[in-house]
Amino acid sequence: MTTISSSIFNVLADEIVSGVLKPGAKLEEIPLATRFKVSRTPIREVLRDLASKGLVQLVPRKGVLVAKIGLEELSDMLEAECELEALCAQIAAHRMSLLEKKKLERVHELTAIAVNKGDDASYLELNHEFHNLISAGTHNKLIAETVGNLRGRLSGFRQAQSKTEKRLQTSHAEHQSIVEAILNSDASLAFQKMRAHNARLSSKVIEQLSKPNRGA
């Protein structure tokens, strides 16, 4: 997505997950384009991406409606992703080549620049690359593809945390401990740090969706 589309996506994802936009609410291109002062093209792109992440539904003759999110299924996906990505970090600590580790370290350094600038869009892009490098570092295509699919399905929920205080700083600090463990080939520590990182993010998502004032 473009920077503009990414920004709009984050706002709408936030509003859906937090309950500002209730399940069943209709999202229309023209009002959204007016609200965000953009053409309908980026709005269409955002709505397609929201649909692919399960945050909205494309209903025939009704249009785009905010989806009712099943907490049980979402919790299962978050748990699976948490454990599988921790396993990726564990395996990658043993299997990543020196060149792969250097690339991971460089991406992590670039995220520090994004954090200092408060550049959410760049951070999210680099964050995606960071996690992909670790998955690829397992040198196991099935594990990497499974984790990639889960992260894709959950990304909308993960990104809907823009109002969390010091979100980028906290995430970057946790990434630092993951990188150090992988660079030192400490598989056990890499597993623990990645698991704790994802567990914190998952708990935030469930907390937002469990608020009693979200409504139906």
Which CATH number goes with the domain that contains 16?
1.10.10.10
> Whole-prediction pTM value?
0.78
Do 189 and 102 sit in the same domain of this protein? yes
Do 88 and 154 sit in the same domain of this protein? yes
Contact by Cβ (8 Å): 89, 191 = yes
Do 87 and 20 sit in the same domain of this protein? no
Do 99 and 163 sit in the same domain of this protein? yes
Do 76 and 52 sit in the same domain of this protein? no
Q: What tokens does 39 get?
A: 């053409």
Is residue 156's pLDDT more than 90? no
Split into its structural domains, the chain has a count of 2
Grouping H, G, I as helix, E, B as strand and the rest as coil, residue 187 is helix
Average pLDDT over residues 94-114: 97
Neighbours of 145 (CB within 10 A): 11
Average pLDDT over residues 11-26: 88
User: Which one of 39, 66, 93 terminates a domain?
Assistant: 66
Q: What tokens does 47 get?
A: 């709505």
Residue 156 lies in domain: 71-212
Do 51 and 103 sit in the same domain of this protein? no
**What pLDDT does 52 receive?**
87
Neighbours of 197 (CB within 10 A): 22
Which CATH number goes with the domain that contains 113?
1.20.120.530
Do 62 and 110 sit in the same domain of this protein? no
Is residue 216's pLDDT more than 50? no
Do 57 and 107 sit in the same domain of this protein? no
Do 55 and 162 sit in the same domain of this protein? no
Do 189 and 120 sit in the same domain of this protein? yes
Is residue 215's pLDDT more than 60? no
Q: How far apart are the first and last CA of the chain?
A: 30
Q: How many Cα neighbours within 13 Å face the side chain of 28?
A: 6
Nearest CA among 132, 12, 159, 157 for reference residue 77: 157
